[in-house]
Structure formats: C-alpha cells, structure tokens
Structure 1
C-alpha cells in the first residue's frame, strides 16, 4: 500500500469513530432529557399570591406555551384528542402579576392541567393536575 491509501484509510477510520461518538452522545442526551415538571401542592399554592383574576384568552401572552404543551402531550399528560382551539380553557393571573395559571381542558369534566408560568422570567414553572371545583372562585 502506498502512503496515499494509508492516509485515506486513516481519515475514513477517524470519520467513522467521530460519527459513532456523536451518535452515542446524541442518544445519551435524549435519554437524559427532562419531561414536564409536576408541581407539588405547596409550590403550586405559592404562585397563587392574592386574588386570582381571569384574563382574556385572546390577550397576547408574553411567551409561547405551545412547546410546553407539546411536551405534555408527548408525556401523555394531555390527550391528543382535544383540538388545539379548545385546549386553553381559561387564564388566571395573580394579584402581583408575576404568575399566570393557564387551564388546559382534559377529557374529564372540571379536571384541568394547569400550566404555571412565570411572567417575569418568561418561562413555565411546571404543571399541576387539579379538579377546578371551587379553586378560583
């Protein structure tokens, strides 16, 4: 073999080894990916500062909740049977306007998945499963 062939083989081997390492790390990262965070009753209650007031669903939110909803559907917390236009039931904001509670419809009546969002940090805190009877009234 000439030096040219050995050089070519070493580059091919280096490429294959690098590709295998990349595939390994991608698979590891996918396995370590965190799912949506279920809030405890204490953490959920801590976001309900003062009186919760209902805001219009049509008001533009300061951040996009749809990627988080996709994670909830992937984790089988939300059903894929509910249409996106009917998914957001109501939105409540606490008196300090720090947190929003976005109520998402489920297949059971008066049972909701509540996404708690921090308006100041523009990110979701987590979700809470709740029976709505008497919660915000």
Structure 2
C-alpha cells in the first residue's frame, strides 16, 4: 500500500502526532506543532512543512501568512513511532509567531520564565496586526 509509512505512526486518539521542526544546518530546535496524516502526506509531497492547527481545526502551511516557509530537508520518526522530527530550512529566519528565530526563547531563571532571545522581526509587520 502506498501510504503504509503513515500507518506505522502511532497517532494520538485525536489522530495527531507531535512534530518538532529543527534547523537542518545548526540542529537548533525551532518549534513544535501537530500533524495529522493529511498534513504529513502534504509535507512530503510539497517538501515544505504543513501542520494541523488544533485551534483553527484546519491545515496550516507554515509561512502561508508570514512568508516564513519551512523547506523540508529530512524527516525522521522516533524509536516509539510517536514523534516526528522535521529537518527544515527556515526561510526568513523567523519560526515563531512572536517574531523570534525559534519558539523556545523562554528560560527558567530564578524560578521565573524569562525571554532570553530577541525578537528578530516585529510580529505586527509579519502578520499585519498592530
């Protein structure tokens, strides 16, 4: 069967699997999102990251609004078959909706979460919102 590789994935009860996006050159973890079988199939077909938006209940092509597309360079499945690793080229240098290079910009310091990485681009200019 053509999609046997999809059947090997252990999907959640909601039909999703966590997907970690990693810069294929540096190894920096950029973000985590969710994928369903259709978004994963499209990711492979289009060679760009397509996720499932749980809040909007629809497919989300990374960069469709911001222009910050993630070009797929590699795809891996973990040892338990329940987490994906997308090795991507992050176009525009911004992966996070906050305008940062990656989503993991908060670090626990002194018992509080503190933003330790700068905003690269004002989110208002990315998404046209004030």
TM-score bucket (shorter structure) = under 0.3
State which structure, 1 or 2, has the greater radius of gyration over its C-alpha atoms. 1
Q: As a proportion of its length, which structure holds more strand?
A: 2
Q: What's the TM-score, normalizing by structure 1? A: 0.25
